[in-house]
Amino acid sequence: MSHWIFTEEHQMFRKAVRSFLEKEVEPNIEQWEKDGETPRSLFKRMGELGYLGIKFPEEYGGSGLDLIMEAVFTEELSRCGAGGVGAAIGSHTTIAMTNIWRYGNHEQKQKYLVPGIMGDLISALAITEPGGGSDVSAIKTTAKKDGDYYLLNGSKTFITNGVNADYVIVAAKTKDEPVHRNISLFIVETSSKGYSVGKSLKKLGWRSSDTAEIFFDGVKVPKENLIGNKNEGFLYIMKNFQYERMTLALGCIGAAEKALELAMKYSKERIQFNKPLSEYQVLRHKMVDMAVDIEKARNITYRALYLYNKGENCVTEATMAKAVATEMLNRVADQALQIHGGNGYMMEFPIQRIWRDARIQTIGGGTTQIMNEILTKQLGIIS
């Protein structure tokens, strides 16, 4: 559906992205799912087309466009039917490189942002550790100053692009106390001595993105690779969570639209008792409910996007969007699979992949329960 937040330019861009994905991505999804990764060639191709630098300044090879334009790209990427592809590209542009763009210096942007925008280097963000996820303040990886370097020790897990990344934005403790003022962000090149990648993790969904454990054993990180100010990494992470959660919500809207599209198509083609499924009122109404569910999540998410694009604080709105849209996608994907009946359970039907990919959305980027706990504070339910 159209929405006032999008201009004609946004809609033209949407058509171009959708056409590209239909021609160059969707035919390859099954192979990439088997390979367990999105190939470097796609990063390079998207870099050539300008898709990796939509919001980044022209000075560094980006297009200098608004965040709403990037939101269009995020939605369309999720409509391709493979959450893993969206996760790989989104982790590179939205989650990892955004930290360099917002908080890095000119030299860091020239060295890491420019080739990242071109698709020549792949990036990842490493925060989650084996001992904890949502509690960022509890990380145990450390970075201790040693002359012109920081010595990095520790490990991370569930890192998207962790296998193929050329550099990783790593959150590490640079002092013991106080909590929330003792974490810094570093750019760590994966070719560094002491850096290693553990096993590539096998996942229920998002199979076309590589996910790994990574380890740091005395990795020497040049002091110039500190992003922003020392001990302010926790603040940077929290600020970026607003946009990360909005992009997750946007991705859920795109994926849910695809799930509904597949269900509608199947319902018109599948004949049962001498008529198509779409002629059964119970299924017609089910699909209407799915469309309404998507539209409710869409408007909550677009409200958050509108405020964020204006530079306003939207913690409440972004948190609501993440909670609502991710739960919505799970409901819509489940109902779409149900409409497919037994065929929906078969691997050759794409609805099963959307159903599997949907499950992580209420977990990654902060669980629904964490979102609700944030909202209890934002709404003043508890102090």
Instruction: Clarify whether 244 is annotated catalytic.
Output: yes
- Listing DSSP states for 335-379 in one string gives HHHHHHGGGGGSTTSTHHHHHHHHGGGGTTTS-HHHHHHHHHHHT
In angstroms, the CA 116 to CA 51 distance is 11
129, amino acid identity: E
Q: 3-class DSSP state for residue 192?
A: coil
Report in angstroms the alpha-carbon separations of 65 from 50, 68, 71, 238, 266.
Answer: 11, 8, 11, 24, 38
In angstroms, the CA 210 to CA 88 distance is 8
Q: Using N-to-C axis directions, what is the helix angle for 351-358 and 315-340, rounded to 10°?
A: 140
Q: Using N-to-C axis directions, what is the helix angle for 83-90 and 233-269, rounded to 10°?
A: 160
124, amino acid identity: A
Q: What is the token pair recorded at 44?
A: 């390079």
| Catalytic entry in 213, 244, 317, 327 | 244
Q: Which helix (H) or strand (E) holds 167?
A: strand 167-173
- Listing DSSP states for 44-112 in one string gives HHHHHHTTT-SSS-GGGT-----HHHHHHHHHHHHTTS-HHHHHHHHIIIIIIHHHHHHH--HHHIIII
Q: What is the token pair recorded at 334?
A: 């489940």
Give catalytic residues, as residue numbers: 244
